[in-house]
Amino acid sequence: MATLAKPLARPHAEEHEDPRQYLMHDPLPRGQMNAMVMEAMHETNPIFWAITGVLAAIVLFALGYEWYILIMQGQGTAGVLRPDYWGVFLVNTVFWIGISHAGTFISAILRVLKIESRRPFTRAAELMTTFGLVQAGLSIFMHLGRVWLVYWMFPIPNERRIWPDFHSPLMWDLMAITTYLLCSTMYLFLPLIPDLAMARDRTKGGWLKQFYKILSIGFRGTEGEWKNLTTAMNIFAFAIIPVMFSVHTIVSWDFAMASRPGWSSTVFGPYFVIGALHSGMAAVAIVLFLLRSSMKHYKYFIRAEQFNTIGTLMLLVSMAWAYFYFNDYLVPWYGGDVWDKLVQEYTEKGPLAYLWYTMLIVNIAVPWATLWNKKWRETPWLLAIVGLLINVGMYLERYIIIPVGVTINRMPFTWRQYEPRIEIPMTIGTFALFLLLYMVASRLIPLIPVWEVQEGQEAHMIRKIGKAEISTLSDME
Amino acid sequence: MSEAITLLAMFKDIEPASEGIEKLQQLGLSDDDMNVISGIPVKHTILGRPSAITYVSRIGLFGAILGMFLGIFFIYGIPYLYPLLVGGQPIFPVPQGFIITFEMTMLGLMGFSFIGMFIDSGFPSYTPKEYTPEVSDGRIALLFSCPASEQEKFIDALKDAGAESVAPAEARHL
């Protein structure tokens, strides 16, 4: 018998995917989903409280006692000295602002693009924005030293009868970070209102009932309320994207506007933005893994598809970061300016060269070697490890740019190797505070936007075309 | 005209709720006399209702303009009041002006959209309201007022449309 086709592959098991493996095609009654989220919030165990206690103790020590020492004894307790006036506190600032970009990226850009797998984890990412910015703000205050003089940066004349200079990149930074913090907090709150109303309806009494009652601001879900809420959310989703880009661009200008070798670069703006997304996306992977592992019922909401989405974005962002890094590296290398050359040589061959090589391996090689594979992307623990490594790499990148970069200047007699001192416990303090805030929030507010999940499930259906069941999406918004 | 009564009809799904709305419209009830309460936003065309009017965008736009002027004041007004020459740069630069103006415009836009959502929805409000917690569990509530003397006619019509219950609405603390 004649063969009419070229040899055909036998169907593999994975070709017959069950659409019900996706959250949008595996709906549960809304009441049941509400109950699951509320149960996850209110069921704690001794380990949770033990970790919370340890974190609170670290925060008290690092951000209470150590900061007190820093304020009372001055910046001399830190490792900053000429020429390294910018040390780990600013590394932390840039790092935490980077982390904060994930929330907006996930929540705003994926919302605008209608990426459906975003639905269950937008809030987890938005919380990272707010809590990340809190750490960034605190780190600036640590760097400031005399924190009680912060009002000199506010647009009011101070006792020296001068106003702040709005022509300075540092003032742009203040305005951009303040705008971003305020707007992202409002953007966190808006979609939270219906879930707070749900929590209010399901809480019987006590202070929690009052807490939800106050925060849900009397929301019922009338047509007018939904219209106003969704309109405001749409405005935020579009408007916060350029603000997000502006924030890290302006952070990069703190460096790029200075005529320093290694810093004065026209590509620093987009390079910093993509770096922020690189660390932010990686942090989302870690948070999702932790939430899925520790919160009851979260395996229903956070599935392989969510990790696949994050993993794919991490791979793309890693490629973009490599592209920008190479751009930023090649031009000064080719230009041959003696000071730029010195910076590059110090970075690659100096005593801290291992940081540079580690950064390149974990920021580029590791994600490229792992995230191309869908099965690996869908493995939560693996993605979390890759995310952790990327964050180590991105922290090193900021360390190389700031204290290492500032070491090599046009006055070789000032060169010295920066060694952080009190900065180390205080840095640990910011990480502890971030985790602590997240853990407290996980017991107080629904981390899963249940109404958004239900809205998505209402819009999805499975349609049989030929022999296959195909996922279809109706535009109900 | 007889006294009006406010009723709350509960539906399990969007489909019967839209049927119920159609029945009420057929019985001569104006769209202004009914409201739909739901746990997710439902497009007005799905329910066969006119779109709710919102002023959030307009309030947001007002905020954006206000923010823009505040930004312009910061970048040009302050150096006018207190000139501070730094690095030989001009007192009234154009490129830097865009940065602060942009940030303040966006802050104004989003801040006022947020406030606008509160103002337009009457939030925060802690007074008793017609509501049932079943809404946040996925039920659709249809709140409407009709002449008390004709309530049976409306109740029967809604039950025909698939309402699970139709009862006088009670204002309660949320």
Contact across the interface for A454 and B40, Cβ inside 8 Å: yes
Distance (Å) from the alpha carbon of A326 to chain B's nearest alpha carbon: 28
Segment A214-229, tens digit of pLDDT: 999 999 999 999 999 9
B117 and B156 housed in the same domain: no
Checking if the pLDDT of B137 tops 60, the result is yes
Instruction: Report chain B residues whose CB lies below 8 A from the CB of A194.
Output: 39-40, 136
B108 and B132 housed in the same domain: no
B116 and B141 housed in the same domain: no
B94 and B8 housed in the same domain: no
Q: How many Å apart are CA A328 and CA A313, to the nearest integer?
A: 22
Q: Would you say the C-alpha torsion B8, B11, B13, B18 has a positive or negative sign?
A: negative
- Stretch (H or E) spanning B171: strand B171-172
Percent of chain A with pLDDT over 70: 98
**ipTM of this predicted structure:** 0.95
pLDDT of residue A334: 92
**Residue A307: pLDDT band by 50, 70, 90 thresholds?**
very high
B8 and B36 housed in the same domain: yes
- As given in the structure block, the two tokens for residue A20 are 């019900």
Backbone angles phi, psi at B35, to 5 degrees: -150, 145
pLDDT of residue A12: 60
Percent of chain A with pLDDT over 90: 71
Checking if the pLDDT of A95 tops 70, the result is yes
Cβ atoms of A274 and A283 within 8 Å: the answer is no
Residue B171: how many CB atoms within 10 A of its CB?
A: 10
Q: Of the candidates B40, B81, B99, which has its C-beta nearest A458's C-beta? A: B40
CATH code of the domain covering residue B30: 3.30.70.120
Alpha-carbon separation of residue A178 from A175, A272, A437 (angstroms):
5, 18, 20
Interface of A with B in 212-271 (CB under 8 A): 213-214, 216-232, 235-236, 239-240, 242-243, 246, 250
A contact test, residue of B21, B40, B96, B140 with most A CBs within 10 A: B40
Q: If you measure CA to CA, which chain B residue comes closest to A29?
A: B138
B36 touches chain A (CB under 8 A): yes
Size of interface A-B (CB pairs under 8 A): 199
B54 touches chain A (CB under 8 A): yes
The strand pairing partners of A222, in sequence order, are: B37
Checking if the pLDDT of B1 tops 60, the result is no
B132 and B106 housed in the same domain: no
Segment A407-465, tens digit of pLDDT: 888 888 988 889 999 999 999 999 999 999 999 999 999 999 999 999 999 888 888 88
In 3D space, the residue among A438, A115, A74 whose CA is nearest the CA of residue A291 turns out to be A438
Q: How many residues does chain B have?
A: 174
User: Among A360-364, A373-377, A458-462, B72-76, which stretch is predicted with the lowest mean pLDDT?
Assistant: A458-462
Residue A13: how many CB atoms within 10 A of its CB?
A: 6
Q: Of the candidates B57, B122, B136, which has its C-beta nearest A198's C-beta? A: B136
Q: How many Å apart are CA B163 and CA B19, to the nearest integer?
A: 9
**Residue A376: pLDDT band by 50, 70, 90 thresholds?**
very high
What average pLDDT does the segment B3-29 reach?
92
Instruction: Report chain B residues whose CB lies below 8 A from the CB of A230.
Output: 41
User: Number of folded domains in chain B?
Assistant: 2
- As given in the structure block, the two tokens for residue B112 are 């006022």
pLDDT of residue B143: 93
- The pTM assigned to this predicted structure is 0.93
**Residue A10: pLDDT band by 50, 70, 90 thresholds?**
low
Average pLDDT, chain A: 91
Distance (Å) from the alpha carbon of A373 to chain B's nearest alpha carbon: 36
Segment B151-171, tens digit of pLDDT: 899 999 999 999 999 999 888
Show the domain range for B61.
56-121
Average pLDDT, chain B: 91
* Domain end (from B99, B121, B143): B121
B74 and B94 housed in the same domain: yes
Distance (Å) from the alpha carbon of A157 to chain B's nearest alpha carbon: 9
What average pLDDT does the segment B21-29 reach?
92
pLDDT of residue A15: 59
B66 and B84 housed in the same domain: yes
Instruction: Report chain A residues whose CB lies below 8 A from the CB of B144.
Output: none
B124 touches chain A (CB under 8 A): yes
Interface of A with B in 128-187 (CB under 8 A): 155, 157, 161-168, 171-172, 175-176, 178-179, 182-183, 186-187
Of A68 and A45, the structure prediction assigns the larger pLDDT to A68
- As given in the structure block, the two tokens for residue A241 are 């994207």
Q: How many Å apart are CA A151 and CA B98, to the nearest integer?
A: 24
pLDDT of residue A7: 75
B14 touches chain A (CB under 8 A): yes
B23 and B69 housed in the same domain: no
Interface of A with B in 412-471 (CB under 8 A): 451, 454-455, 458
Checking if the pLDDT of B112 tops 70, the result is yes
**Residue A310: pLDDT band by 50, 70, 90 thresholds?**
very high
Interface of A with B in 30-59 (CB under 8 A): 30-31, 34
pLDDT of residue B96: 85
pLDDT of residue B6: 92
Instruction: Report chain A residues whose CB lies below 8 A from the CB of B83.
Output: none
Distance (Å) from the alpha carbon of B7 to chain A's nearest alpha carbon: 15
B40 touches chain A (CB under 8 A): yes
Instruction: Report chain A residues whose CB lies below 8 A from the CB of B170.
Output: none
The strand pairing partners of B140, in sequence order, are: B11
B contact test, residue of A153, A161, A209, A226 with most B CBs within 10 A: A226
A contact test, residue of B103, B104, B164 with most A CBs within 10 A: B103
Alpha-carbon separation of residue A145 from A60, A158, B7, B150 (angstroms):
19, 18, 63, 74
Q: If you measure CA to CA, which chain A residue comes closest to B49?
A: A223
B60 and B111 housed in the same domain: yes
B contact test, residue of A235, A238, A257 with most B CBs within 10 A: A235
* Domain end (from B121, B139, B164): B121
Contact across the interface for A220 and B133, Cβ inside 8 Å: no
In 3D space, the residue among A441, A455, A474 whose CA is nearest the CA of residue A230 turns out to be A455
**Residue A8: pLDDT band by 50, 70, 90 thresholds?**
confident
Q: Would you say the C-alpha torsion A328, A333, A337, A341 has a positive or negative sign?
A: positive
Instruction: Report chain A residues whose CB lies below 8 A from the CB of B142.
Output: none
pLDDT of residue A430: 97
Checking if the pLDDT of A14 tops 60, the result is no
Checking if the pLDDT of A11 tops 70, the result is no
B71 and B113 housed in the same domain: yes
Strand ranges (DSSP E) for A253-303? none
Distance (Å) from the alpha carbon of A427 to chain B's nearest alpha carbon: 29
Segment B47-96, tens digit of pLDDT: 999 999 999 999 999 999 999 999 999 999 888 888 878 878 888 888 88
Instruction: Report chain A residues whose CB lies below 8 A from the CB of B126.
Output: 213-214, 218
Alpha-carbon separation of residue A51 from A33, A283, A383, A425, B56 (angstroms):
27, 20, 23, 18, 43
Cβ atoms of A34 and A198 within 8 Å: the answer is yes
Please give the radius of gyration of chain A, using alpha carbons only, rounded to the nearest integer.
Answer: 24
pLDDT of residue A111: 87
Cβ atoms of A432 and A425 within 8 Å: the answer is no
Residue A7, classed as helix, strand or coil, is coil
Q: Of the candidates A30, A197, A232, which has its C-beta nearest B113's C-beta? A: A232
Sequence-distant (≥ 6) Cβ neighbours of residue A78 within 8 angstroms: A70, A87, A88, A89, A420, A421, A422, A423
Segment A125-181, tens digit of pLDDT: 999 999 999 999 999 999 988 888 888 888 777 777 777 888 888 889 989 999 999
Checking if the pLDDT of B10 tops 90, the result is yes
Q: Which long-range contacts (C-beta less than 8 Å, at least 24 apart) are formed by A142-150? A: A142/A67, A142/A70, A142/A89, A142/A92, A142/A423, A142/A426, A143/A86, A143/A87, A143/A89, A143/A90, A143/A93, A145/A70, A145/A71, A145/A74, A145/A75, A146/A71, A147/A71
Segment B40-55, tens digit of pLDDT: 999 999 999 999 999 9
Q: Cα-Cα-Cα-Cα dihedral of A424, A276, A117, B113, to 10°? A: 100
Distance (Å) from the alpha carbon of B148 to chain A's nearest alpha carbon: 23
Q: If you measure CA to CA, which chain B residue comes closest to A176?
A: B103
B112 and B143 housed in the same domain: no
Domains of chain A, start order: 87-415 (1.20.1630.10)
